[in-house]
Amino acid sequence: MATAEEELLQELRSKATELFLREQWAESSGLCSQLIDLCRAHLSAADRASDPDRFSKLQRSLCLALANRADAGSKLRSLDEALRDCDEALAIESSHFRALVCKGKILLSLGRYSAALECFKSAASLEPQGNGNAESLNVWLDKCKKLEYQSRTGNFDLSDWVSAGFRGEIPELAEYIGPVEIKKSEISGRGLFATKNIDAGTVVLVTRAIAIERGIVGGEGSGSGENKQLVMWKNFIERVAGCVSRCRRTRHLISTLSSGEDEEGLEIPDLSIFRAEASEKHDYPDEKLDMNKILGILDVNSLVENAISAKVMGRNKDYYGVGLWLLASFINHSCGPNARRLHVGNHLMVIASRDIRAGEELAFAYFDVLQPPTKRREMAAAWGFDCSCKRCEFEEKMQSKQELRDTETALEGGMDAGGVVYRLEEGMRRWNVRGKEKGYLRASFWAAYGGTYASEKSAKRWGRRIPAAEAVVDSVAEAAGSEERVLKVLVEQLSRSGGGLGGGAMVEMEKALKLGRGIHGKVIKKQALRALLEL
């Protein structure tokens, strides 16, 4: 290779490296592109037979430049382009250490854990080329193995983090799709359905946000919180638009979501396109999403972290956060929900909040469902739909009973909570309301039940004229899933009993733990969950 040519290539390489170390990723990528173009130009003019050494050096320079640009591209989240650069580099030299490591990191970021693991294993076999990076590689290998196991089994454990008071790094989570399928929904459009029986607390789905925006919205000054939310919404839209522009797969997956139009005519997407490990087998179409379509999709599918059916774990609980999580967007509302959201870092975990039968549709509570029917109808209207779940259908029929309407009016008018409970229980006895339907009405008048049981004086006053708190908690949890206000009543009953470990107390303790698992999931093991619930 000519000296001048070598010097120019070395100069470009040094400048690109310097910019990379300064975290000026775009500038570094630009210089790498110049270097790549220069290498390709020289290679096209070179004669391999007459000067094999020069040809080999140019190929090595091109390979390194591609790996370096891939590294910069991954920092810029241009993962499609970065992955292509890695593949081109490895086509030149299959054992190129930096290209293998960079490809492994990109695949890990894309949730393709098995493929990432193979890259790191290949790099580890070349460790002498890694200049003593064995320790760093072992960290990546261990991370891959852990995430691949989580993704395959759905076995997650946050116990140590919870027991430590959420201190330290947020646990890394794999994306996971449990026993679910997308089907036509009787609730609205399309929904997510269980393909087998699922126990309360089971992790059904773990998905990372396509984009998320967080901030503190409280503060002094009129309207400051609303203004901050508007700024956050604008930033969030820009983040999503950036993701759409950089990744064909993301663009296609977002395009499958509803924009609020023609719900009944929407296609049922194949669930496999959402599985990151299978993404290389899919040829995602390069469709276009204009800004109006993106805005429509975000308006319908964006989720707020601190929603009524969500629990934010760790330090993010102090923030207002809005994000887009793909498969969770297919979960409809029901006033008898069976699922909740657990937010851990940028990941959303869908937890079964009660036992779910095979074939049953998963449903969140979009708003507070521990409210009387009239209030829930108003909230559903504010969300832009009429709820026609089994609970709402049952209560619609019950609205013909004047006594039930009077009970709702009495609750709103400030009637003694115990009196409202007594009145409703007597009514249900006369109306012959049984089983889950009794739980529906108790959930609707939870403010009265919770208020009665929260006051030891009130509970004693009404005594045997109203059902025991434990029986009410059981029926409400069966009707509306695990809910923190309901769990609180049960925990308070255990506290009043002095925490004794007699047979009855042990049964109630297990009930409390089951409700706790329906809120926090089986990802928190028994001892950590007891500590979290202060049992």
Percent of the chain with pLDDT over 90: 66
pLDDT digits (tens, 9 = 90+) for 400-420: 888 888 888 888 888 889 999
For residue range 452-475, what is the model confidence (pLDDT) as tens digits?
998 888 888 898 899 999 999 999
Whether the Cβ atoms of residue 254 and residue 244 lie closer than 8 Å to each other = yes
Residue 162: the pLDDT is 93
β-strand 363-364 against 347-352: which pairing, if any?
unpaired
% residues pLDDT > 70 (the chain): 95
Here the tokens at position 488 are 């609180």
The better pLDDT of the pair 465, 5 is held by 465
Asked whether the predicted pLDDT for residue 512 surpasses 60, the reply is yes
Look at residue 69 in the predicted model and tell me its pLDDT: 94
Tell me the CA distances in angstroms from 411 to 271, 334, 408, 418, one per residue in order. 46, 23, 5, 10
The Cβ of residue 234 has, within 10 Å, a number of other Cβ atoms equal to 11
Mean pLDDT across 301-324:
90
Contact (CB, 8 A) for 372 and 411:
yes
The pLDDT assigned to 1 comes to 43
Taking the C-alpha atoms of residue 533 and residue 482, their distance in angstroms, rounded to an integer, is 13
CA distance 134 to 69: 23
Mean pLDDT of 424-429: 94
Which SS3 state, helix, strand or coil, does residue 268 take?
coil
Q: How far apart are CA 168 and CA 158, in angstroms?
A: 12
Q: Distance of CA 495 to CAs 5, 357, 469, 487, 508, Å?
A: 80, 33, 13, 12, 11
- Is the pLDDT at 67 greater than 60, yes or no? yes
Q: What is the pLDDT of residue 323?
A: 97
> Is the pLDDT at 288 greater than 90, yes or no?
no
- Position 132 scores a pLDDT of 59
For residue 374, how far is the Cα from the chain centroid?
31
pTM for this predicted structure: 0.90
Tell me the HSE value of 270 on the side-chain side, using a 13 A CA sphere: 7
Cβ partners under 8 Å of residue 53, min gap 6:
1
Q: Is the pLDDT of residue 502 over 70?
A: no
Mean pLDDT of 181-201: 95
Residues 480-498 have pLDDT tens digits of 999 999 999 999 888 877 6
The pLDDT assigned to 52 comes to: 85
Q: What is the pLDDT of residue 328?
A: 96
- Ramachandran class of 244: left when φ > 0, alpha when ψ lies in -120 to 50, beta otherwise: alpha
- pLDDT at residue 222, as a whole number: 45
Residue 264 has pLDDT above 90, yes or no: no
Q: Which residue has the tokens 């693991």?
A: 117
User: What is d(CA 83, CA 71) in angstroms, rounded to the nearest whole number?
Assistant: 9
The strand order across the sheet containing 176-177 reads 176-177, 203-208, 347-352, 339-344, 310-313
Confidence of residue 436 (pLDDT cuts 50, 70, 90): very high
Tokens for 77, please give them.
């989240």
300 or 495, which is more confident: 300
Mean pLDDT over residues 183-195, rounded?
Answer: 94
* Domains of the chain, CATH where assigned: 3-153 (1.25.40.10), 160-364 (2.170.270.10), 373-533 (no CATH)
| pLDDT bracket for residue 89 (50, 70, 90) | very high
Per-residue pLDDT at 223: 58
Strand, coil or helix: 133: coil
pLDDT beyond 50 at 15? yes
| Distance from C-alpha of 104 to C-alpha of 111, rounded to nearest angstrom | 11
Q: Quick one: pLDDT band at residue 2, thresholds 50, 70, 90?
A: low
Query: Residue 4 — very low, low, confident or very high, per pLDDT cuts 50/70/90?
Result: confident
Q: Chain-wide mean pLDDT for the chain? A: 90
